[in-house]
A and B are shown apart, each in its own frame.
Chain A
Amino acid sequence: MNIKEVLTQQERAGAEIVPPSAAERRDAGRWGLVFNNFDLIGPSWSMERARLPAPHQVAQELWASTWDEEVNGRRGIVRSGTLSNRSLIYHGGVTLGATVVGFLIGAALGVALAVGIVYSRVMDLSVMPWAIISQTIPIVALAPMIIVVLYSVGLSGLVAKAVISAYLSFFPVVVGMVKGLRSPDQMQMDLLHTYNATPAQQFWRLRLPSSVPYLFASLKIGIAASLVGAIVGELPVQRGGLGARMLGGSYYGQTEQIWAALFAAAVLAAGLVWLIGWIERRTLRAMGAPT
């Protein structure tokens, strides 16, 4: 991946390269270059602005921007008593807050809409197409506008980001829940029908329990989407968070910094998804699923 840049560097350092000019190399195949210049590619593992940084570079950056920064840094928790604004722990926390708040709002909204769609013919007919359309609006395009609008009513920071998170996470929940709430079979529905159960009873005692597998599949996607939303929201509001880190990394060409922030985001996502999976397993067990 890094071969072309490495060769250019070696050329600057005075090495003989095949082919000799950078302009020619632009159009050459990567593997060919590796083969022709095999002895010169060592530095590919330790470049400063690598297209693909080596794992140890990312690891170093991760270490530097978590433990090292907090313990030894001027602004770290050890010296200043608060988390450092250069540490991924701090930024991860900022993002996590918005993610969770946004997810809770989005999931609640999604479930509410799904219930509305399943129970109200008017909503069934008219809401779904607009929910779809809402998702085709590129949120990143809207994010700044949302933030501008929220600015003008005096809201900023966490709330603005949470709004974007909620916007992205409600849709998977709606789609999954509508299907899930409609998944009870005929006989299961008929049984309650003979009892003349109210719609609320039908919801709590049949539709909701049947929708659980769909709900959790959706919640996993929803929380991941929420995290993406929070990060997207952090781009225009440069007030910290993993999104701000990624942009900073990209802006200053610090690939390791992007990768480290990406890695942190991925860890956060995996953790959140795992948490939902854990709740799912507990719930299913409480509902008597065979183990």
Chain B
Amino acid sequence: GGHLEEVRLQLQWVTQAQFAGYYVALEKGYYEEEGLDVTILPGGPDIAPPQVLAGGGADVMLNWMPSALAAREKGLPVVNIAQPFKSSGLMLTCWKDTGITSPEDFKGKTIGVWFFGNEYPFLSWMSQEGISTDGGEDGVTILKQGFNVDPLLQRQADCISTMTYNEYGQVLDAGVSEDELVTFKYEDQGVATLEDGMYVLEENLADPAFKEKMVKFVRASMKGWKDAEANPEEAAEIVLDYDETGAQTEAHQKRMMGEIAKLTAGSNGTLDPADFERTVNTLLAGGSDPVITAVPEGAWTHDITDEALN
């Protein structure tokens, strides 16, 4: 009882089942049990979570590791304190009738890519394949993809970026059957990078009280995640209740939750240093315009998870 400690969590996108663990923890009082009063700040287009963190608008953020490492290089020292997502859900989805069967065939094709810090894995992959990204016969033409799958459906692009848990489902929902499509999961191509991790400012970690708070936060969040994995239907319902925009549909969130559970399945929250290294290597291979120029030091810590989960 008594008064609760405040924690503000900045999501990297709108309220959806991608963040179910946190909403479940909030709804079921796991945070409260730890003595935390958690506010979840939904993200949206153009909200850069690192910026919010730097401005003091949030205590913890969720971010994809390439973006977080880039921020670190830009002089904003963020540290990964937990990694609930074990594997990557990112993939390219292409029309089969374009004749694409392997990355080789991308040459001369038009591909939709998310920017805003999410372009790094793609650029690294292409440079590893030796394909130029400046268009033309031997390269790929890149489109900055919006927030939906229309470019594929309208055939403005031959391939687009999709997440297993979201956009891919939307393509199927649009009436396209799976055998009209070819997909390339980054995970399978060996260019996967770590997705939704929890990050805080390095300077804050020097404060034992803050550290203590984060321990509690990570513990409760992971409890929420494991709960969500176990009860996906219920988790999706909870997410829907927290969606203030009322835009999400039940069927969609339930399917998303199912797919998300596959990505979180392998993790108890602790970052696997091997995954980190693979991510860094992928990014360092980024060709002419690499995302990061050197192996980052101190970009992650086990201090929090060690204490929280053991």
Contact = CB atoms under 8 A, between A and B. Distances in A.
Q: Do chains A and B touch in the complex (CB under 8 A)?
A: yes
Interface of A: 4-5, 9, 12, 21-23, 26, 48-49, 51, 84-87, 90-91, 140-141, 143-145, 147-149, 151-152, 235-240, 244-245, 247-254, 257
Nearest to B147: A251
A236 B116 CA distance: 14
A67 to B, nearest CB: 15
A98 B56 CA distance: 24
B244 A236 contact: no
Given A235-B45, A253-B149, A148 B155 contact: no
Interface stretch (B194-202, B246-254, B300-308): B246-254
Given A23-B97, A237-B44, A249-B247, A51 B175 contact: no
A250 B245 CA distance: 13
A239 B14 CA distance: 9
A251 B14 contact: yes
Contacts, number: 118
Given A144-B46, A251-B247, 7 more contacts: A86-B246, A152-B55, A238-B14, A244-B247, A245-B245, A247-B247, A252-B248
B115 to A, nearest CB: 13
A22 B155 contact: yes
B45 A236 contact: yes
A236 B48 CA distance: 10
Contacts of B154: 4-5, 51
Given A152-B57, A245-B247, A251 B97 contact: no
Interface in B113-161: 146-150, 153-155
Contacts of A145: 51
A148 B51 contact: yes
Interface of B: 14-15, 42-48, 51-52, 55-58, 95, 97-98, 146-150, 153-155, 170, 173-175, 177, 243-249, 252
A86 B240 CA distance: 11
A233 to B, nearest CB: 11
Contacts of B177: 12
Contacts of B95: 22-23
B244 A151 contact: no
Contact of A236 (B15, B46, B170, B252): B46
Contact of B153 (A5, A90, A239, A252): A5
Scoring B44, B149, B246 by chain A CB atoms within 10 A of each residue's CB, the highest score goes to B246
Contacts of B249: 252
A51 B153 CA distance: 10
A22 B51 contact: no
B44 A12 contact: no
Nearest to B57: A151
B174 A253 contact: yes
A140 B47 CA distance: 11
Given A235-B46, A247-B45, A251-B14, A257 B57 contact: no
A140 B252 CA distance: 29
A235 B97 CA distance: 36
A251 B13 CA distance: 11
A240 B43 CA distance: 12
B283 to A, nearest CB: 25
B55 A238 contact: no
Given A9-B175, A253-B149, A85 B245 contact: yes
A81 to B, nearest CB: 16
A259 to B, nearest CB: 14
A145 B57 CA distance: 11
B111 to A, nearest CB: 16
B127 to A, nearest CB: 28
A248 B148 contact: no
A143 B44 CA distance: 12
A23 B56 CA distance: 50
A93 to B, nearest CB: 13
A223 B221 CA distance: 44
Given A23-B98, A26-B155, A251-B247, A235 B44 contact: yes
Given A49-B153, A152-B57, A252-B170, A144 B48 contact: yes
A250 B148 contact: yes
Nearest to A140: B46
Contacts of B55: 148-149, 151-152
A253 B148 contact: yes
A70 to B, nearest CB: 12
Contacts of A23: 95, 97-98, 155
B147 A236 contact: no
26 contacts: A5-B154, A9-B175, A22-B97, A48-B173, A85-B243, A87-B246, A91-B246, A140-B46, A144-B48, A145-B51, A148-B55, A151-B56, A151-B57, A238-B42, A238-B44, A245-B246, A247-B44, A248-B14, A248-B247, A248-B248, A251-B148, A252-B252, A253-B149, A253-B153, A253-B170, A254-B247
